[in-house]
Structure 1
């Protein structure tokens, strides 16, 4: 994944672990043929390593993959020496107000070799699926569904079991997979669900590092992963949603009540869900893969640095 794009752009890639020794990095940086350095570590990169990479004077790009929820940490490494890519439009707008000209808006993409249509067995099937961390807004939606429907609900992600009241944990309609799962299994659950709820993380979550309270305005990469599987999702509305999709390719909701109404409607519309899911898949494969993002990154690094 990515090598074809890199070769087409005239580069080859050398990868190195973020846990490698500083001396290993210095040895690698001594090679004059290095065109640029790029990391997806975002603001989590080791400070000592960051200093070494900056001092090398090799063009350096960083993808801020936790914006805006860790924007406090992003600001700690922000300067005019590097090229920054942020995944969120709200964070991008904020950086622009601060005068940064070396920040570009670029959402994450999906890997279609992992997230793709496939047949799955009954253990992955559900009427409604939540997959991811049980943020309070997701938990409240799950409770609303359990309280108002008899649909088969699957909750996947570490922490869900404790969030569901005891009176519901043994319901036949409920399955809780209380563990983190790898991407290939996430793909299987997406393929097995009639309807996936994609509720975004909220700005006031206790463990965020977003003291400025920048609102997230972009969709998460899970949106693209689900679409790459040709699966149907209901996603809470974000300002940038219809910059990434056409309106007939994805369905949004504006509040829990609207979400519940749309669940009731779409759960029985098998053909309509398939049509929308297929359109979303075509959109994502055409525009929102990691390969397409990598191509943009290389073009921007070339244009705004001397390569």
Structure 2
């Protein structure tokens, strides 16, 4: 099967790059042809000279839903099944495109279905939940390495909607434990480079924007091998999700990190996201409430109970690698594709 995958910016510092690599490896490893699309209309017109893909996979909306409707309709008329990522709320123009142009066959995202009810109510389109996952090629347990051993590890960007948890939970832990914090936006230099990069993108200086992105990627994103060692070597790995100021999570998702930490052999304490229990049981992953004292109690308990910590870690790793890799998600995509094609054949 031939897959076109839309990736406007390669090697971004956000989750897009890691998600892309997960899908790419899984599709190819399962025997499919995988073609990356950067410039939407231009690349699609070029690559379709050699045949249309069975699937056009669009996990990054950008301005595609508004400005590329003609191209989307064209590939669909030629037999391609279009998978289009969606969120909620959406722009009025995006909703109009969905309702009036019927630009995709499958509307999906990692957001849990209970947070996407309005999407169906407003557009009338069925929504498919395809959660994030771990990359079997990158995420797996390795031997513990002394240079990467931390009591507490947080590997991720300093995002504004996580700042409350950083200030109330993560940063205070440095007073008591050996804490490792790594990722973008944690220092002034990276924030300055990010600002300059945004300016270059805004004025269409893509060459310089990409150059700065490369510098930031090399400086602030650890190679996958080091990430594995950090997760495998640290005692407790923390995971926080973006939230509004009142603590709510209207964009109800589980981050890729949720699956990556246990896949790499890490012991994870995750913040309170109820759908987590659909993927990991209490025996496979620990979940803490939004009360900082609950975090401190759980952290202290598992720091002092290595045997129980390792039992949970091992069960979590087994679950992640068996049920929550991009290989599993590709099988879901193929099942959805088959369902769509079967319905088409009925007409």
Aligning the two structures, in what range does the TM-score lie when normalised by the shorter sequence? 0.7 to 0.9
1:87 aligns with 2:107: no
| 2:303 corresponds to | 267
| 2:325 corresponds to | 289
Give unmatched runs, 5+ long, in structure 2. 1-24, 189-218
Structure 1's 74 and 116: CA in aligned 2 closer, same or farther, altered over 3 A? farther
Q: Distance in 1 between matches of 2:93 and 2:297?
A: 40
| Cα shift readout 1:159-217 (whole Å, capped 9, x = no counterpart) | 2246xxxxxxxxxxxxxxx8232433322211121001111111359xxxxxxx86133
Please say if residues 27 and 34 of structure 2, whose CA atoms lie closer than 8 Å, have aligned partners that are also in contact. Answer: no
3-state SS of 1:15 partner: strand
Give unmatched runs, 5+ long, in structure 1. 163-177, 206-212
TM-score by length of 1: 0.78
Instruction: State how 1:138-157 maps to structure 2 within 5 Å.
Output: 138-140=165-167, 141-146=169-174, 149-157=175-183
Q: Distance in 2 between matches of 1:196 and 1:214?
A: 21
Q: Distance in 2 between matches of 1:199 and 1:30?
A: 45
Instruction: State how 1:3-22 maps to structure 2 within 5 Å.
Output: 3=27, 6-7=30-31, 12-19=32-39, 22=41
| 1:173 corresponds to | none
Structure 1's 35 and 76: CA in aligned 2 closer, same or farther, altered over 3 A? same
1:76 aligns with 2:100: no
1:132 aligns with 2:156: yes
Q: Distance in 1 between matches of 2:170 and 2:52?
A: 53
The alpha carbon displacement at 1:86 in A equals 1.3
| 2:256 corresponds to | 221
CA RMSD of aligned residues (A): 2.8
3-state SS of 1:155 partner: strand
Flag the structure with higher helix content: 2
The alpha carbon displacement at 1:266 in A equals 0.5
TM-score by length of 2: 0.70
The alpha carbon displacement at 1:272 in A equals 1.1
Q: Distance in 2 between matches of 1:96 and 1:48?
A: 22
Number of residue pairs aligned between Structure 1 and Structure 2: 274
